[in-house]
Structure 1
Amino acid sequence: MFAAYVNSFSSESPVDGLVLGERPDPVAPDGWTIVTVKAAALNHHDLWSLRGVGLREESLPMILGCDAAGHDEDGNEVIVHAVISDPAWTGDETMDPKRSLLSEVYDGTLADKIAIPARNVVPKPRGLSFEEAACLPTAWLTAYRMLFTQADLNPGDTVLIQGAGGGVATAAISLAREAGMRVYATSRDESKRAKALEIGAHDVFEPGARLPRRVDAVMETVGAATWSHSIKSLRPGGTVVMCGATSGFTPERGELNRIFALQLRVHGSTMGTKGELAALADFMDVSGLRPLIDRVLPMEQADQGLRAMDEGRVFGKIVVTR
């Protein structure tokens, strides 16, 4: 079968380690199923894997990809949930210390077919295309969990979303606006600020700018570069939810005095549960909200999409199709 896989690591030029070619068809052990992929979405996780972060050299070659939608062995239209928990684990899969994501221990979704635990498939609503559904399992699921589970936000609340342009940030803008929140967003790029307004932000700002009001929560995906601004933007008792740190892990100012004096909450978040993915898919279907797709490419051009992502030339999700 055709697949996009990592065969070597490079921290400076990660896509150089990508191979587009043939791999053996997957074999499903007991309790697993084979999904025929119709569409898959690219994520920064793929670039980290190409750099060798979270992936061991002895695991190579490894098929990349966390997100996919396609057909199961009975012909049902399904979405793949990428969090693989221990078979004995019950409850929130993201809390399982033995969990992994597709493309870390088990081959990922950038292929004609993928083997996946049978419990990891979610019915695809007919109202969503395969391309739209493929955007949900990582970026959109992460944003959904950050907003509604970790921050526990409600209609009328105010949220700041740092780093508009990335997959999680654009998903959070759209979800928060659809759920009736007041949405602020930041970006260094003027064109991305303009696009953030188009997809639902009420107002946009340059990073570090003073906001019209303190916010109930901040969705933090940037890390060190925006951390101080995130903390300073919160109302007393507010929450910052962090799912990543693309600008680094060590901020110049930790703002610890503000955190304890204003009784702020700092909440980590990663991915989401199968139940949250199903709820997200239903939310999208009922509301009519659709993922923002930057571009759709054939899987044979996955390298072009990864290079665009690595260079920051993306607003929304890049989807590859079969």
Structure 2
Amino acid sequence: MIAAYAARIDPENPLAGLELGEVPEPSVPYGWTTVRLRSASVNHHDLWSLRGVGLSAGSLPKILGCDGAGEDAEGNPVVLHSVVGESGHGIEPDEERSMLSERYPGTFAQRIAVPRWNLLPMPPQLTFEEAACLPGAWLTAYRMLFTNAELSPGDTVLVQGAGGGVATAAVVLGSAAGFRVFVTSRDDVKRKRALGLGAEAAFEVGARLPQRVDAVLETVGAATWSHSVRALKNGGRLVISGATSGPNPPLGELQHIFYRELRIVGSTLGTRKELSALLDFCVAKGVRPVVDSVFPLHRIHRAFERMERGDLFGKIVLTIP
């Protein structure tokens, strides 16, 4: 079968290690099944894997890709939960959780083997391309908003860095849930598009907000950290799921954190239960993932180049022949 995989690790030039070619069919352990993939979405996690973060040279070659949608062995449309090992659903009952493409092959392939437990029915209202966006960025945004930010309708939330997959998901989901969503971006076009997705207001990065907010969703990291801390109300929550601009902010802002009793909450992906709830939410509210662009699998290098440049708005999706 055809797949895209990490053949080499190169921290300085990660795309040099990305290859497309024939690979063996997946082996299927007891309790697992196969999925014929139709679409998969591209994540920064894939780029970090090519740099050697969470992926060692000794584990190569490794099929990349965390998110996907396709058809199960009976031909039913399904969405894949990206985490293997949750609630004991792995090969070993006590194995640590891992994302697809870390310990096990990922979704940039025509077929994949996963635990049956990891499959959820795909709602007929969604396309394969839309469904493939949900298990990663959209599930991350869902958990940040509804589990870790502890928001209620009418509460205010600042989303840093409008344009990325998690950020666009947070704007759509947050506005659909009745939150007052503020966003930041250096790009005027992205700010305007965020308003079109339901954001109440959009600002330049670092700009003074009209009021302090109940929560901040932070995926940018060092470049926006100080602004995120200072934007919060006393007792507010700063929920972090990424650091695309770097993990080490120049200012720790510790005096603001302890004096104003702010809460810093880490957030990673989400559970199978939360993915099921996200699917239901999308159907009930009529919201759909924001797709930046769609590439066939054989043009995966173009897709990665676009993600690496950062000039996207929403998710990049691959169609798999």
Alpha carbons 2:88, 2:95 under 8 Å: kept: no
1:12 is displaced (CA, Å) by 2.3
Alpha carbons 2:40, 2:319 under 8 Å: kept: yes
Aligned to 2:303: 305
Aligned to 2:29: 29
SS state of the match for residue 184, structure 1? Answer: strand
Amino acid at match of 1:120: N
Aligned to 1:315: 313
Aligned to 2:72: 72
d(CA) in 1 for partners of 2:20 and 2:191?
Answer: 34
Aligned to 1:290: 288
1:13 is displaced (CA, Å) by 2.0
1:15 is displaced (CA, Å) by 1.2
1:111 is displaced (CA, Å) by 0.4
1:313 is displaced (CA, Å) by 2.0
Q: Where do 1:209-288 residues align within 5 Å?
A: 209-288=207-286
Amino acid at match of 2:144: M
Aligned to 1:132: 130
1:80 is displaced (CA, Å) by 0.3
Summarize deviations over 1:122-167 as a string: whole Å, max 9, x none. Answer: 1111111111000000000000000000111111010000011111
Return the match for 1:161 from 134, 159, 162: 159
- Relative to 1, partners in 2 of residues 1:97 and 1:208: Cα closer, same or farther, differing over 3 Å? farther
Amino acid at match of 1:56: S
Return the match for 1:208 from 182, 206, 209: 206
Amino acid at match of 2:8: S
TM-score, structure 1 normalization:
0.96
1:87 is displaced (CA, Å) by 6.6
**Greater displacement, 57-66 / 77-86:** 77-86
- Relative to 1, partners in 2 of residues 1:87 and 1:164: Cα closer, same or farther, differing over 3 Å? closer
1:97 is displaced (CA, Å) by 8.0
Q: Where do 1:2-17 residues align within 5 Å?
A: 2-17=2-17
Aligned to 1:146: 144
1:250 is displaced (CA, Å) by 1.1
d(CA) in 1 for partners of 2:306 and 2:124?
Answer: 30
- Whether 2:61 is the aligned partner of 1:61: answer yes
d(CA) in 2 for partners of 1:154 and 1:38?
Answer: 36
- Relative to 1, partners in 2 of residues 1:127 and 1:63: Cα closer, same or farther, differing over 3 Å? same
Aligned to 1:178: 176
Which stretches of structure 1, 4 residues or more, deviate above 4 A after TM superposition?
none
Summarize deviations over 1:80-132 as a string: whole Å, max 9, x none. Answer: 00111167379xxxxx9811100011000000000001111111111111110
d(CA) in 1 for partners of 2:119 and 2:202?
Answer: 37
Q: Where do 1:107-122 residues align within 5 Å?
A: 107-122=105-120
1:239 is displaced (CA, Å) by 0.2
- Relative to 1, partners in 2 of residues 1:97 and 1:238: Cα closer, same or farther, differing over 3 Å? farther
Q: What value does the CA root-mean-square deviation take over the aligned residues?
A: 1.4
Summarize deviations over 1:164-198 as a string: whole Å, max 9, x none. Answer: 11110110011001111111001112221121112
Q: Where do 1:80-99 residues align within 5 Å?
A: 80-85=80-85, 88=88, 98-99=96-97
**Greater displacement, 242-251 / 133-142:** 242-251
d(CA) in 1 for partners of 2:128 and 2:86?
Answer: 28
Percent identity for Structure 1 against Structure 2: 58
Aligned to 1:93: none
Alpha carbons 2:37, 2:107 under 8 Å: kept: yes
Amino acid at match of 1:208: G
Amino acid at match of 2:269: M
Summarize deviations over 1:34-61 as a string: whole Å, max 9, x none. Answer: 0100110000001001111110001100
Amino acid at match of 2:193: K
d(CA) in 2 for partners of 1:117 and 1:174?
Answer: 30
Amino acid at match of 1:160: L
d(CA) in 1 for partners of 2:314 and 2:306?
Answer: 12
- Relative to 1, partners in 2 of residues 1:66 and 1:150: Cα closer, same or farther, differing over 3 Å? same
**Greater displacement, 96-105 / 267-276:** 96-105
d(CA) in 2 for partners of 1:159 and 1:150?
Answer: 12
Amino acid at match of 1:282: D
SS state of the match for residue 88, structure 2? Answer: coil
